[in-house]
A and B are shown apart, each in its own frame.
Chain A
Amino acid sequence: MAQVVSISEQIFRRWCEKLRNEQKVPQTFVEAIELLHEQRKLSDTEALSKLLKQVGGTDDDKD
């Protein structure tokens, strides 16, 4: 029997596709997001914030 792809998985795939086609979002982000999805951490605000801090270099880098 073919594997049933859940609606949430389909939504995630579509989201990644959209992110890949969006110039405003760094491409490394998409990979990081896929990784977070694998780790079931996409609902983790802290993990997402940490990822976002990498836009334009981390604050730590600047320090």
Chain B
Amino acid sequence: MIKIDRIVVEGFRGITRACTLPLDGKSLLLFGENGTGKSSFVDALEMLFTGRVSTLEGRMGVSTERHGPNIRAVGPTEIYVRFSEGSEFTLGTDVELLPMALKEYLIAAQEPLYILRRRQILDFIESKPQERYDHLRPFLPLTEVEETEAALRVVSQNADKEVTDAERTLNATSRELAQAVDIDEYKVPVEEQQVCAVLSMRLQSIGIGALRSLSNLGDAIAALDTRLARFGDPQRIVALHSARSRLEELQSSFGDVNFASFKSALHALRSREATAAKTFFEDVLQRGLEWIESDWQGVCPLCETPWDKKPRDRDTLVARIQARLDEMREVVRSRQDTDLSRRELLDSLRKVRDSSKSLRAELESLGEVYGLKLLGEVAGSLQNLCTFIEQRLDQITTDELDAAIRSWNTASYAIRLKELIAKVEIATGGLPSPQEIKPLVELRSLLDRIDELWQQQEAVFNQRNLTQNRLEVASTMLRLAEEARKEELQELFDRLSKDIDDLYNKVTEKDIDSEENKNQGLTKLRLEVRPEVRGSVIYQADFYDRKDVVPNAYGSDAQLDMIGLCTFLALQRWYRKQHPGFKLLILDDVLTSVDAQHAVRIAELILKEFGDYQIFLTTHDRIWYEYLRDIQARCRVKGEFLNKVIHKWTLEDGTDLREPEEERERLDRLLVDGEASQIASEAGRLLEHILQEMRYSLRLSVHAKRGELYEIGEIWPAFYSVMLKTYPGFYEKCGMTLDALNIRWPIRNWIGAHRNIWASRVSRDDAVEFGRMVGGLFDSIFCKDCGRFIEPSMTPAGQLSCRYGHLIYPVPGKMPLKPLSREELVKMTQGAFRDSQLNTELYFEWKRAEMGRENN
């Protein structure tokens, strides 16, 4: 089983200088006041394993990249882990090069599901159902399922679009069919009987039988063709009649060609241009006029010849120029009029030309040879005229125009056209009239069109049904996939809920099977998938006789913390099954609001449930830390935990993880060959450490200080006073050291912490004496066997001892009494201490009784 042997962190979050956790595969219990860097170790592991710190992501203006590195770090961030099987892993290590088992461990560690912080607990409990699903989402590897559902959704949407398109096409085809049959009200698709009824009426009107089904349409068409056959080629007959009437139209259109307007306009233009030939350029005239009127200088604007400056001459000149300008503008207007006439003439010529051309083509297609030459000549002559008139207007002379008009011999063409019309009349004379044949031809054409549209409607209708089928299949597949996911998740959640409820009952020591506890407080905690919403999970419970309530509506902060923690542990149980080779659990200060009684049960539960895991527990609560140390022994995992205390944090040095024994050893070395200031400094550090520990164990009353960074002078007076008054047994043995230190502790400040010139008289001997006293005090109050400082015994009052009674300072005149075990304490205090909970009423009652006994 892979475990972490060693963690080294430097320059990350609250850790400035390199800090080492020598785990040797053990679990970790880490105590530190708020802001001393406990969570920095958790963040560092998350950073190393996942590449990010989740608490630094997703919040405005905060990121791992910017806020991960320590603000006083001089070098780059270093995070190093050595595993039990010998491999090392640091930021930037290529995972591919690591052994397979470790690679699997690191893959499982990539999602930080094994880390629980207090904020996550509250987030989970108080989140909305969809957000809660997101919290659970990393535990549920559903990517594949969600991608399948997404693909099915796309396919379903595409199928839906195909149905819409097919319906649109069907509507259009049905509308076209209805219009062809000439029916206003119809269903989509148009019904066969409705079409047959209309067609039957038309067929019956010309003596053809009713149409019962559109499959008989071929018979109706055949009957109609027989009817038309007696007229020969009905199409040709209709075409000849049409050609005749169009020839008459062409004949009358000759009269629409009006050369006169253009001819007279051109003549007028050319005449005006002739008289205005000497006219100066308009622009020059205009600018000259403006110059003369505004800046008359008495010289010609073109040749600068001086003129008489009398106003009379100037007015004459201006009048002359104005007249010439008017003349010029008249020419321009005339040109515009001429151009307009030319366009009108061109339009009429082109119309006659095109009509001649198309008539010629029509006669030719009918195989009629007469008239082809005439119509060709008319079209050709008109084409020549058009080409001539389309020239630039200034290139058309009046003489050329007159010649062109003469070439268009209207009279001759009109006579020949009349002869042609007469010929066509003779050709159509023996044929039935268009009025007689046209309805038959139209009905024939309608039957063809209906046949085509009906088949088209059938095909489109079938396609629409097919797409509807596909849509139904696609929608069903998607619906069933969603149902399967929700049902399977609900089953998983049911199992999880059972686990959560089971864990919660264990923590609260509730036996749900007993009648007494049934329906007491929050019960039947459960996660439920919301069937109507995608990706949504609700948390429900019963509260006394109220069913289906949200836990945070009734639960206290502590209960909600426990519910959150139980949920996390239940998820871990499940996750363990998915990743049996990954056994790491990190709980970062998660039991803040839980009372000691429940916290102990949770801790016991974790240590038993996840006994084979490497567990990292951090806490800022000293009492909780001590409890956890006791629990380790009770759960038989004492040797499997590294218990560490962060006793100090400073901005410059960061987290201080040094053990007091290390400081004691270093002091001993300095006492041999260290300088006075070094000795005073190290002795001061150890004294500070001692006082910090005694502050906790003796509950010393000191003024609260930000960051709990107390100096010796702030704790010493309280410590000395309490030792003197409350613990005479200790004072009896160590009073001399205490008294001496009461005078000498400032030496640390004089020469150990600051360079004071006035303190230069403090000799090395003084420093050595101070160091020896601090060392002696440490030896008197630190038990090497327990690895703990002494603390007041629960009983008798006034006795100090280590946790297991290796080091005892009894009350003078009394026998030393080993600290009691929990069971002994419960028994002795007649139930005042039950488990870890103190019933103060019972306790004081017992205490009064004991004092009474002592007095007697």
Distance A52 CA – B485 CA, assembled complex (angstroms): 21
B577 to chain A: which residues have CB within 8 Å?
4
Please state if B155 and A14 are interface contacts (CB–CB under 8 Å): no
Which of A1, A10, A18, A45 has a CB less than 8 Å from the CB of B580?
Answer: A1
Please state if A24 and B472 are interface contacts (CB–CB under 8 Å): yes
Distance A18 CA – B144 CA, assembled complex (angstroms): 18
Q: Which of B432-484 contact A (CB under 8 A)?
A: 466, 469-470, 472-474, 476-477, 480-481, 483-484
- Which bucket holds chain B's interface residue count? 35 or more
Nearest chain A CB to B51's CB is how many angstroms away?
24
A40 to chain B: which residues have CB within 8 Å?
144
Nearest chain A CB to B628's CB is how many angstroms away?
32
Nearest chain B CB to A16's CB is how many angstroms away?
8
Looking across the interface, which residue of chain B has its beta carbon closest to that of A6?
B141
- Counting CB contacts under 8 A, is B578 at the interface? yes
Looking across the interface, which residue of chain B has its beta carbon closest to that of A53?
B470
Please state if A43 and B473 are interface contacts (CB–CB under 8 Å): no
Distance A40 CA – B580 CA, assembled complex (angstroms): 25
Distance A22 CA – B466 CA, assembled complex (angstroms): 19
Please state if B150 and A14 are interface contacts (CB–CB under 8 Å): no
Please state if B488 and A7 are interface contacts (CB–CB under 8 Å): yes
Please state if B485 and A11 are interface contacts (CB–CB under 8 Å): yes
B151 to chain A: which residues have CB within 8 Å?
42-45, 48
Please state if B487 and A49 are interface contacts (CB–CB under 8 Å): no
Nearest chain A CB to B483's CB is how many angstroms away?
7
Please state if A8 and B470 are interface contacts (CB–CB under 8 Å): no
Please state if A55 and B488 are interface contacts (CB–CB under 8 Å): no
- Which bucket holds chain A's interface residue count? 20 to 34
Which of A8, A29, A33, A56 has a CB less than 8 Å from the CB of B469?
Answer: A56
Please state if B148 and A43 are interface contacts (CB–CB under 8 Å): yes
- Counting CB contacts under 8 A, is B252 at the interface? no
Q: Which of A1-35 contact B (CB under 8 A)?
A: 1, 4, 6-8, 10-12, 14-15, 17-19, 22, 24-26, 29, 33
Please state if A24 and B473 are interface contacts (CB–CB under 8 Å): yes
- Counting CB contacts under 8 A, is B646 at the interface? no
- Counting CB contacts under 8 A, is B145 at the interface? yes
Which of B148, B492, B580 has a CB less than 8 Å from the CB of A7?
Answer: B492
B154 to chain A: which residues have CB within 8 Å?
45
Distance A1 CA – B150 CA, assembled complex (angstroms): 34
Distance A33 CA – B152 CA, assembled complex (angstroms): 12
Please state if A14 and B488 are interface contacts (CB–CB under 8 Å): yes
Nearest chain B CB to A30's CB is how many angstroms away?
10
The 3 A-B pairs at the shortest CB distance, nearest first, are namely: A43-B147, A15-B484, A14-B484
The chain A residues found within 8 Å of chain B, CB to CB, are 1, 4, 6-8, 10-12, 14-15, 17-19, 22, 24-26, 29, 33, 40, 42-45, 48-49, 52-53, 55-56
The chain B residues found within 8 Å of chain A, CB to CB, are 140-145, 147-148, 150-152, 154-155, 158-159, 466, 469-470, 472-474, 476-477, 480-481, 483-485, 487-489, 492, 577-578, 580
